Structure formats: C-alpha cells, structure tokens
Amino acid sequence: MSTVGDEARPALSPGAAALRNHERDYEALAERLARRGQRAETVVDAVGRFAVAVPSWALGTGGTRFGRFPGPGEPRTLAEKLADVAVVHRLTGAAPRVSLHIPWDEPDDVPALRALAAELGLGFDAVNSNTFQDQPGQPLSYKLGSFSHPDAAVRRQAVEHHRHVIAVGQALGADAITVWLADGSNYPGQMSLRQSFERVLDCLRDVYAALPAGWRLFTEHKPYEPAFYATVVQDWGSSLLLAQTLGERAQCLVDLGHHLPNTNIELVVARLLGAAKLGGFHFNDSKYGDDDLTAGSIKPYGLFLIFHELVLAERERLAGFRPAYMIDQSHNIKDPIEDLLQTVDQLQLAYAKAQLVDHAALAAYQESGDVLLAERTLKDAFETDARPLVAEARRRAGAALDPVLAFRASGYRARVAAQRSGGGYVPPQSL
Ligand code: RM4
Ligand code: MN
Ligand code: MN
C-alpha cells in the first residue's frame, strides 16, 4: 500500500525557481519580524509541531440532502482512504492521524488495518460513534433517540455500540471517543426536556465507566439538525454540564459549525479552557449552520481568534490542555484531498499568525485600557502574511511548499482513478 502514498513523492521537490522565491520571501519576512522583536524560527518550529487528524468520512465527495456529485478515483475501501490520508500527511507534514467513524468505517480486520496505518506512517485519533442512523440488522430503532430514548432497551443497545467503538479504537491505538448525539425532538411535547437529558447523562456514565486507562470521552454539542425543535446536547453549556458531572476524563469537543449564527466561538473556547474542559475540535467553517465548509473559507479572523486562545493556553501551560485537533468537513464540490490540503494549510496559517501576537504588548494595553492598540496588536498578527513561515515549516518536515499545487503536479488523482474504477463505495451522506 505504501506505494500509493509514494506516488505523491516526486512533486515534493519544488522547482529551483519556486524554492529560490520561497527563500527570498522567508528571509524578507524573518527580517521584518526581527524588527518587531520576533523570531521567525520560533514560529516555524511551533508550526512544525502542529498536527490535525483527518476524518475517515471525508475522503469521498460529500453531499447534501439534494444530491452528490462524486469525482473520479474516490476511495472504495478503508485501506484506500488511509492511502489518501497518507498523501495529505506527506504533502503537509501535519496530518498523521485518522479519526474513524463507526460503523461507517468499521474495519474488517483491526490488526491488519493498524499494521497498514503504521506502514503508511499514520496512527488513529478519537473514534466516533454513530447512533444517528439505524444500521442494517439492528434490532431496535433510533428514530426516537438513542441515549435519550424512553425505552431502556434502546438505550442499552446504544451504550453497547459505544463499548464496541471503544474496543475497536483501543485495538487501533486510539485514546479517545467522540460522542455526538442526534437525540432531540422535532415537536414540542415529543419528549420530556428534563428527563431526556438525565437519560443521556446516565448512558454516558456507563460509557465513561467503560473507558480504558488513559482514554478521554468528548461530548460534542450541536444546536439543531436533525432534531429541529430541541436537541438534548444543544450547546456548550449542556456539554460542559455533562463533562463536569462525568469526571476528569470527560471533556467537550467544539465543532466550529455547531453554533447558532453570531456565536462568539473564541469566547466559548476560552470558557471551556478556563474550566479545563476543552477536549478537542472539529475544524470547518460555516456561513449559516453546520455547513462543513473549508476551515478559514468564510471567517478567517474568527479562526485566528480561536487559535489565539489556544496559543495563550499553550504558553500558560493551562491545566488539562491537551486538545485533539480534528477536521470535520464535507467536500461537496471540491476534490476531497485538495480540500483537506487547503484545510490543513489554513489551520497551519491561523496557528502561525496566532504565534505572531505580541503577548506582552497586548497584556500591557489591556491593563492600561488602551482599546485601540490592544485590538491593533491582534490585527498586526492577523494581517501579517505568514505564508512563508508555514511553507518553511513544511519544507523542513520534508513536505510541500504548496501542497495543493504539488498534489496536482503529482497526478495522484488520475492514477488512483485508473486503479479504483468500478468501485461501489458510497460515502455517507453529509450531516
Ligand atoms: C455531525 C457531527 C459529528 C459528525 C457527523 C458526521 O453533524 O458534526 O461530529 O460525526 O456530523
Ligand atoms: Mn463534528
Ligand atoms: Mn456537524
């Protein structure tokens, strides 16, 4: 399998002209930063340590409720998906792990999958459960909920599924489970608003008790969809309540698309950080709801402000700060690999810019109440063209200066399209 990943290799050596241009851009920026008392090297090192997990459900073209327009060469099997993730990792140097969705990507042979991943230089991040759909052969239906279902037998089935997901994750070397529940109601009166939360909490207690040593449980909130009247875990407050009640190893996951319009997400992040309950992220961007668009495509400043909070937490070595960074996007009309490459680049860029904040100056302006200069300190970092820093971090990691262009030049998509023809793989509908 490693030969599939190898196919992107020739494109990694940029042309001499591209490399020379990069070196000049990097030197010019390093000189500019030095005048501001900042070291380019420090930022390059930090960006070199940044890593984000790729979701197993994002290697095929996503879709909407209205249709799906698959492209050529989409992976048909989990092995082919891993090969694609290896390409994303090779080109960015920052995507070394896969986040599996079960049963969408239930491995047939767990040890073989683990060995294949290791051969490709990949590992496994948090595993994701799925009780938002009925699976073929499943005895009881989740139509009226899973953990919140009025029937205890359905709740037991859902808990059992989570135990299974944990067992698969453990065998793969993962160390966390993300629980996103679709549970909720579509009409007032459909369910008891208080009891449904209590039931969810009870089931999560069982899942929490089943966590292997060293594992964490992430609760992921979402305001609506598919429950349009009341979702049980609808906001970060509910998620925090669950995590605080469950115990130290339960933390909250923030999916950037799971907030009502105009929510100040960086403030949510700061609150969870302050409570040592920020477990991880699902990165994406959105204009209206859970749009699952490319990170940084709609609100790049918001993404930067979120990373600013994360960099502060890192610098202060905040207790409980060990965020699991994952992507959760639906590639509706872009090539999935290209969209992932663009996403990782945007995340690296937001992280690099957040490193450029003059923290001492910002703290001083906050103390003295200089609103304008405090804000401008953030803008100075955000408006810096940090692309040479990110490209340099990738170059040092043996990855590509420009991942998307390197991918196109590699011809990988055309080659796998030839190899993967006739596949019956149908990726899950986007949610
Ligand atoms: C949900 C949520 C979950 C993801 C599913 C596919 O909206 O974001 O994290 O696993 O979609
Ligand atoms: Mn998500
Ligand atoms: Mn979502």
What is the 186 CA–ligand 2 centroid distance (Å)?
21
> What residues contact residue 359 under an 8 Å CB cut-off, 6+ apart?
312, 315
User: DSSP letters along 200-242, please?
Assistant: HHHHHHHHHHTPPTT-EEEEE--SSSS-SSEETT-SHHHHHHH
Q: Which ligand is nearest to the CA of 180?
A: 1
Atom of ligand 1 nearest to the CA of 257: 8
Q: Is the shortest distance between the CB of 266 and ligand 1 below 6 Å?
A: no
Q: What percent of the chain has pLDDT over 70?
A: 95
Instruction: For residue 326, give Cα distances in angstroms to 26, 54, 178, 373.
Output: 28, 6, 11, 34
In degrees and rounded to multiples of 5, residue 157 shows phi and psi of -60, -40
Strand 216-220 and strand 250-255: the pairing is parallel
What is the 382 CA–ligand 3 centroid distance (Å)?
27
Helix pair angle (16-35, 387-396), 10° resolution: 120
- CA 51, 57, 63 angle in degrees (round to 5)? 125
Determine which helix (DSSP H) or strand (DSSP E) holds 379, and give its type and residue range.
helix 371-382
Per-residue pLDDT tens digits for 34-69: 999 999 999 999 999 999 999 999 999 998 889 999
* Whole-prediction pTM: 0.95
Give, as one character, the DSSP assignment of residue 370: -
Give nearest CA residue, ligand 1 atom 6.
431
Per-residue pLDDT tens digits for 303-351: 999 999 999 999 999 999 999 999 999 999 999 999 999 999 999 999 9
> What residues contact residue 355 under an 8 Å CB cut-off, 6+ apart?
42, 43, 46, 47, 311
Name the token pair of 385.
């063209």
Q: How many CB atoms lie within 10 A of CB 241?
A: 16
Ligand 1 pocket check: which of 162, 218, 328, 332 to mutate, most ligand atoms within 8 Å of Cβ?
328
Q: Is the shortest distance between the CB of 431 and ligand 1 below 6 Å?
A: yes
Per-residue pLDDT tens digits for 122-146: 999 999 999 999 999 999 999 999 9
Give nearest CA residue, ligand 1 atom 1.
431
